[in-house]
């Protein structure tokens, strides 16, 4: 039994070797033009389409895997970003629980997107491509059987044309030709049916694949957009609370500073500077009226709140403009432009709250100039240019308004 099996295997091997030799000889003869080759233009077109379809499907599979990997990477980056926010977010801040919930919902949304993307695209493309290797192998087999058929056909023709007719050889050659033709035609027929069908199936596959991806993305981004909008609203609210708290602290600090100033100024007999309201901004806050520069504060109108005694007279009357300029408190006596009305010295720091105001530091000297339109001047506000700017640039371009009661006229 073993010897028989070994003999059969040896015989089959020898037969296969002989077939390869015969095919190689036939291909050489065909390339040299000494033997004709069976051609099938329709089939060759089908094979070209098959190769194109296989290349496109392989590229689509590669790009879908890259897309899936990018989505997974984006998921990981988004998760780390939300984890970072959760770590930084103080428990007492607005919306802490909602921020944590958004992070959890975002993670679940990404996971759902991954799973559905895997099921509807990657598994589908893998299944789609599994049919190509078998057909590719059958196409290669068909090509080999076609060479065998052509070789048998040429061998039969050469025997028929021989001078000496050997009916036995002719009959055997004819039999071999019939077998080669039958094997070839069976494979060729099946492929002729399958290749056009496979080529047309690509349309439906592409439609389903990209509809799935587009539908999943549309739903994913719609739901993600809602979560992002919610997070944006929470951040906006948190910022509003921060600004409100900042204004509250600033107001409290200002009031505390003003209370301390009231105490110190009351003891020294000085007035309490407060920034007057401007009509072009928010409605003015009701405050006790302060005397203008042309008024004289009477001694009996100023009461020392702490010692219950009268403070010395404070004369705020406008000095005579005929007085000669002098060097006073660091101010220069350099010649000033005719448009300057007078000088003032800042007695307190003033932080500008609008882009048309001047920032003042205590001891700053300001050149007061008239408003281009007197109707634009608000009560208690002056328009001026810092003397330091005038001395350096010799122009009055950088000007702004400031509260008069923060300054003292020189």
pTM of the model: 0.51
Q: What pLDDT score was predicted for residue 321?
A: 40
Q: Comparing C-alpha atoms, which of 404, 328, 332, 330 is closest to residue 368?
A: 404
Using the predicted structure, report yes or no on whether residue 83 has a pLDDT greater than 50: yes
Q: How far apart are CA 317 and CA 292, in angstroms?
A: 9
Domain coordinates in residue numbering, the chain: 31-246
Q: How far apart are CA 118 and CA 65, in angstroms?
A: 9
Q: What letter would DSSP give residue 394?
A: S
Calculate mean pLDDT across residues 204-219.
94
pLDDT digits (tens, 9 = 90+) for 278-333: 444 433 433 334 334 333 333 343 334 334 433 344 343 444 343 444 446 455 66
Q: How far apart are CA 83 and CA 106, in angstroms?
A: 11
Query: Contact at 8 Å (CB) between 381 and 350?
Result: no
Q: What percent of the chain has pLDDT over 90?
A: 45
Q: Comparing C-alpha atoms, which of 116, 119, 107, 186 is closest to residue 146?
A: 186
Q: What percent of the chain has pLDDT over 70?
A: 70
Q: What pLDDT score was predicted for residue 21?
A: 73
Q: How far apart are CA 406 and CA 185, in angstroms?
A: 108
Task: Give the tokens for residue 285.
Answer: 């806050």
The architecture of the domain spanning 31-246 is Up-down Bundle (1.20)
Calculate mean pLDDT across residues 113-134.
92
Model confidence band, residue 275 (pLDDT cutoffs 50, 70, 90)? low
Q: What pLDDT score was predicted for residue 269?
A: 47
Neighbouring residues of 380: CB distance < 8 A, sequence distance ≥ 6: 276, 290, 292, 403, 404, 405
Strand, coil or helix: 383: strand
Residues comprising the chain, all counted:
410
The mean pLDDT of the chain is: 79
Which tops the pLDDT comparison, 32 or 80?
A: 80
Neighbouring residues of 356: CB distance < 8 A, sequence distance ≥ 6: 400, 401
Calculate mean pLDDT across residues 173-193.
89
User: What is the dihedral angle through the alpha carbons of 305, 306, 307, 310, rounded to the nearest 10 degrees?
Assistant: -20
Which range scores top for mean pLDDT: 2-6, 64-68, 151-155?
A: 64-68
């Amino acid at each position: 039994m073993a010897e028989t099996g070994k003999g059969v295997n040896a015989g089959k091997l020898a037969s296969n070797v002989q077939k390869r030799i015969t095919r190689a000889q036939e291909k050489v003869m065909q390339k040299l033009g000494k033997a004709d080759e069976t051609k099938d233009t329709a089939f060759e077109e089908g094979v070209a389409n098959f190769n194109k379809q296989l290349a496109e499907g392989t590229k689509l599979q590669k790009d879908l895997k890259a897309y899936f990997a990018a989505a997974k990477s984006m998921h990981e980056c988004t998760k780390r970003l939300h984890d970072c926010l959760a770590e930084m977010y103080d428990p007492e801040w607005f919306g802490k629980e909602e921020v944590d919930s958004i992070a959890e919902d975002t993670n679940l949304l990404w996971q759902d997107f991954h799973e559905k993307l895997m099921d509807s695209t990657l598994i589908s493309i893998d299944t789609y491509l599994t049919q190509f290797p078998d057909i590719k192998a059958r196409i290669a087999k068909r090509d080999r059987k076609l060479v065998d058929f052509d070789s048998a056909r040429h061998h039969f023709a050469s025997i028929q044309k021989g001078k000496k007719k050997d009916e036995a050889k002719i009959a055997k050659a004819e039999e071999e030709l019939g077998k080669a033709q039958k094997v070839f035609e069976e494979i060729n027929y099946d492929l002729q049916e399958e290749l056009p069908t496979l080529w047309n199936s690509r349309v439906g596959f592409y439609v389903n694949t990209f509809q799935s991806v587009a539908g999943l993305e549309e739903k994913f981004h719609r739901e993600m957009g809602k979560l992002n909008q919610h997070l944006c609203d929470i951040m906006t609210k948190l910022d509003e609370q921060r600004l409100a708290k900042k204004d509250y602290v600033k107001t409290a600090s200002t009031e505390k500073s003003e209370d301390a100033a009231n105490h110190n100024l009351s003891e020294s007999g000085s007035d309490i500077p407060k920034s007057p309201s401007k009509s072009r901004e928010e409605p003015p806050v009701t405050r006790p009226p302060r005397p203008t520069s042309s008024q004289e504060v009477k001694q009996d109108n100023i009461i020392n709140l702490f010692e219950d005694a009268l403070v010395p007279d404070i004369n705020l009357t406008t000095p005579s403009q005929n007085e000669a300029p002098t060097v006073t408190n660091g101010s220069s006596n350099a010649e000033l432009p005719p448009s300057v009305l007078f000088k003032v010295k800042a007695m307190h720091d003033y932080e500008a709250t609008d882009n048309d105001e001047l920032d003042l530091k205590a001891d700053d000297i300001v050149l007061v100039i008239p408003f281009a339109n007197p109707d634009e001047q608000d009560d208690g506000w002056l328009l001026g240019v810092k003397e330091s700017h005038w001395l350096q640039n010799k122009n009055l371009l950088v000007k702004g308004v400031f509260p008069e009661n923060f300054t003292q006229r020189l």
